[in-house]
Amino acid sequence: MLRGGHFAAFEEPNLLADDNFSNFVQYTDMFVVFQSASQIGKSFLALIKRYTLTQVTMSLVKIIFLLNLLLAVIIGILWKYGHKLQPESELPPLKDNWWAKEAKTNFLADDKVHPFKISVSEKVLDDLKSKLQNARYSEPLEDAYFQYGFNTNYLKEVVEYWKTKYNWRDHEKTFNQFDGYKTQIDGIDIHFLHVKPKNIPLLPLLLIHGWPGSVYEFHKILPILTTPRENSSFGPLEASQTFDKLMSRLGFNKYYVQGGDWGSIIATHTALYFPKRVNGLHINMAPIATKGQYIKMLLGSFWPSVLVEDKDYNKLYPVADKFIEALSETGYMHIQATKPDTVGVGLNDSPVGLAAYILEKFSTWVNPSYKTLADGGLTKKFTLDELLTNVMVYWVTGSITSSVRFYKECFLQYHLKIMSHHFINVPSAIAAFPQELFFCIPETLAHHQFTNLVQYTNMPQGGHFAAFEEPNLLADDVYSFVQKVEISKIKK
């Protein structure tokens, strides 16, 4: 077309109408073409009939045999040498980042670490109450439950609880029971918790949360990780750089790092860029990343038993089913990776909308089968207080828009390519939870990316929010991994 855009019938009705008439004439002409093609097909069949059935059969057998032989040779070559298709290149150089609006030359730098207590103003809480009181709802489809997203019938119950029973001040105290701090790094304020264990050797562990989780995810696991145990010596790029600077500022020259969701990707980048400082990497989300892994996954779809054991089959196969499952749960990702500020405006203005958007993930990301339940299974692993406190972290800070921007800034740059083109050489561990949202690589594929895989654990239960859902299982796995690494150091 000469002009016009997406809304063709609205913008250029005459052009669109003319084109429809033109297509009608073309279809009439195509009918004649199809009739001619039919005659050609009949002539071709007559030609084939000149050969005997035996000759045709033998020719087909030979062709099929040769094709299978060729396929077997190609598969054998790719299986053995596929990983060499992705030679390791140099890491992209680290930049001198600056994130403040004010120019660096005019900025009053402060590299001190300041104690910080969370204290949300009454004005913010009063505004929240007003918005909750005047919320508007759309009616859900009958018996749709969570299959179309957050069911608004149950959302009304959640909001009623939020208005009448939830007490932010109680959970503010939960945050403040841990030592909180703020510091400026590269022009932005970094809020973090620095929890020190008592009466046990100190081995620094950097915990990194993901989205739509928050630092509140760790309120269950922090006491576990900082409690002495018998017979144990516990001990995406700019973020990893910032966190490494944080660990340096805290006086840690070497440390362990653990993460899930975005935390796993940031932690992996940290291990890539600072291998001399990272004692070990522990992640509970390990998606397929390298070309070698993708090749073997696809080849394994023909003979799964060659690649994975029966117990690991459901982690990758059937590939088509896994792809459809991932596609059905990643609509949010496409929005946030392209137009984060658009969705951010609505979520930042409506506490009810924000709750629906975030809490829906704590249904299907914990267990996909929960979408057939009227309440989305939200309280099977969490209390409403816990879930709403996580929502409140985004509401009282007004940070939902900046949090979803992380997707656009990552996907449109080279961050994910770094993981796919480089191997992780530091001691590593993977905790594979059965209901993890994305492809969870089996141990047989993990070695393609993690050259020093010390530990791989198939967890008995749990989903995407491991630290929030199964803090004891995750803490046990971290302890076990750190202990193995520390023992290996002594042996050396």
**What is d(CA 67, CA 28) in angstroms, rounded to the nearest whole number?**
41
Count Cβ atoms below 10 Å from residue 16 Cβ, excluding itself: 14
H helix or E strand, kind and range, residue 51: none
Tokens of 423: 């191997």
**What is d(CA 363, CA 359) in angstroms, rounded to the nearest whole number?**
7
Handedness of CA 450, 454, 460, 464 (dihedral sign): negative
Tokens of 417: 């390519």
DSSP 321-362: HHHHHHHHT-HHHHHHTT-HHHHHHHHHH-HHHHHHHHHTHH
- Would you call 441 exposed, middle or buried from its count of C-beta atoms within 10 A (0-12, 13-18, 19+)? buried
**R_g of the chain computed on alpha carbons:** 28
Tokens 């097909």, residue located: 41
Tokens of 485: 């690494």
CA distance to 112, 218, 246, 247, 340, per residue, from 189 (Å): 11, 20, 11, 15, 22
Tens-digit pLDDT string for the chain (492 aa): 777 777 665 566 666 556 655 554 444 444 343 344 445 445 544 544 544 555 656 667 667 767 777 776 776 666 666 655 566 678 888 888 888 888 877 777 788 999 999 999 999 999 999 999 999 888 888 888 888 888 889 999 999 999 999 999 999 999 999 999 999 998 889 999 999 887 666 778 888 888 888 888 888 888 888 876 654 432 278 888 888 999 999 999 999 999 998 899 899 999 999 999 999 999 999 877 777 777 777 777 777 776 777 777 777 777 777 778 878 888 899 899 888 888 998 999 999 999 999 999 999 999 999 999 999 999 999 999 999 999 999 999 999 999 998 888 887 655 566 777 788 999 999 999 999 887 678 888 888 889 999 999 999 999 999 999 999 999 999 999 999 999 998 877
| Active centre residues (catalytic) | 261, 407, 464
Tokens 């749709």, residue located: 144
> Three-class SS of residue 149?
strand
Cis-peptide, bond into residue 92, ω within 30° of zero: no
**What is d(CA 322, CA 262) in angstroms, rounded to the nearest whole number?**
20
List residues bridging with 104 in a β-sheet.
Answer: none
Cis-peptide, bond into residue 140, ω within 30° of zero: no
Query: pTM (2 decimals)?
Result: 0.67
Torsion of CA 140, 145, 148, 151, to 10 degrees: 50
CB distance 337 to 408 below 8 Å = yes
| CB-based contacts of 343, cutoff 8 Å, min separation 6 | 335, 336, 357, 404
